[in-house]
C-alpha cells in the first residue's frame, strides 16, 4: 500500500504559531507562572518548542494516556498509562496536547485533573481537528485548525513512525 505525505504545516509555519501561543500564554499567566502538563508521547516536540518561547516561570510535568492502539481511529476508551507525581492543588495547570480529535482524551484528562483541585486548568493544542468532535470541551489555545485527515510529524506518529519529521503532514493512503 502506498502512503503519501502531504504538507500541512512547515517548520516556519509551526515556529510562527508556537511564538504566538507562547506570547499569549506568557501574557495571560504573568510572573507567577504555571505548570505545563504535556500529554505523552505526541506532545513532546511541541512542548519542547513552546516552553523555550514562554517568558514566564514554568514547571514541566508529563502524563501519558492511550486511546488509539495501532490504528487511525480512536478506540473510544482512554487509559492512564503514566500518572502525575506532584500535587496540583491550587496550581495553574496548562495541558499541552499535540492534536485534539474526538475530544475524548482531553475530556478524560480534565475530569482526572479536576479531582486534584487545581486553581485553574486550561488546554493548549497544536492542532484542533474539528470535524469529528464527540464531546464539547473548551480549548483555550489552538495553533492550527483542520477539519479532518490523519496527521503525522512534529511528534505525531503513525504506528510510532514519523514523530521526528520537522513539519506536519497529512498521511494519505
Q: Which residues bind ligand 5GP (CB under 6 A)?
A: 39, 42, 67-68, 74, 97-105, 129, 150-152, 156-158
Q: State the binding partner of 153 from Mg ion, ligand 5GP, none, CB within 5 to 8 A by kind.
A: none
Q: State the binding partner of 26 from ligand 5GP, Mg ion, none, CB within 5 to 8 A by kind.
A: none
If the CB atoms of residues 21 and 38 are measured against Mg ion, the closer one turns out to be 38
Q: State the binding partner of 156 from Mg ion, ligand 5GP, none, CB within 5 to 8 A by kind.
A: ligand 5GP
d(C-alpha 155, C-alpha 133), whole Å: 21
Q: Could you please report the per-residue DSSP string of 109-162?
A: HHHHHHTT--SEEEEEEEEEEGGG--S----SEEEEEESS--EEBTTB-BTTBS
Return all residues near 65 (Cβ < 8 A) that are at least 6 apart: 39, 78, 79, 80, 81, 105, 108, 109
Q: State the binding partner of 92 from ligand 5GP, Mg ion, none, CB within 5 to 8 A by kind.
A: none
Q: Are 76 and 133 in contact (CB under 8 A)?
A: no
Interface residues toward Mg ion, by CB under 5 A: 42
Q: Are 64 and 82 in contact (CB under 8 A)?
A: yes
If the CB atoms of residues 56 and 66 are measured against ligand 5GP, the closer one turns out to be 66
d(C-alpha 77, C-alpha 46), whole Å: 24
If the CB atoms of residues 59 and 132 are measured against ligand 5GP, the closer one turns out to be 132
CB of 167 to ligand 5GP, least distance (A): 14
CB of 4 to ligand 5GP, least distance (A): 15
Three-state secondary structure call for residue 69? coil
Catalytic position from the list 98, 101, 147, 157: 101
- Active site annotation includes 101: yes
Positions annotated as catalytic residues are 101
Amino acid at each position: 500500500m502506498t502512503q503519501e505525505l502531504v504538507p500541512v504545516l512547515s517548520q516556519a509555519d509551526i515556529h510562527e504559531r508556537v511564538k504566538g501561543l507562547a506570547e499569549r500564554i506568557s501574557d495571560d499567566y504573568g510572573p507567577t507562572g504555571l505548570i505545563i502538563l504535556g500529554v505523552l508521547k505526541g506532545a513532546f516536540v511541541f512542548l519542547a518548542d513552546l516552553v523555550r518561547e514562554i517568558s514566564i516561570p514554568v514547571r514541566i510535568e508529563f502524563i501519558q494516556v492511550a486511546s488509539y492502539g495501532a490504528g487511525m481511529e480512536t478506540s473510544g476508551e482512554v487509559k492512564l498509562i503514566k500518572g502525575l507525581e506532584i500535587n496540583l492543588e491550587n496550581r495553574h495547570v496548562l495541558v499541552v496536547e499535540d492534536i485534539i480529535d474526538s475530544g475524548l482524551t482531553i475530556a478524560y484528562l480534565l475530569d482526572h485533573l479536576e479531582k486534584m483541585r487545581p486553581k485553574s486548568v486550561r488546554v493548549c493544542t497544536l492542532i484542533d481537528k474539528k470535524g469529528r468532535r464527540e464531546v464539547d470541551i473548551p480549548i483555550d489555545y489552538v495553533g492550527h485548525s483542520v477539519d479532518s485527515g490523519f496527521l503525522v510529524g512534529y511528534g505525531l506518529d503513525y504506528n510510532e513512525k514519523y514523530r521526528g519529521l520537522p513539519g506536519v503532514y497529512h498521511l494519505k493512503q
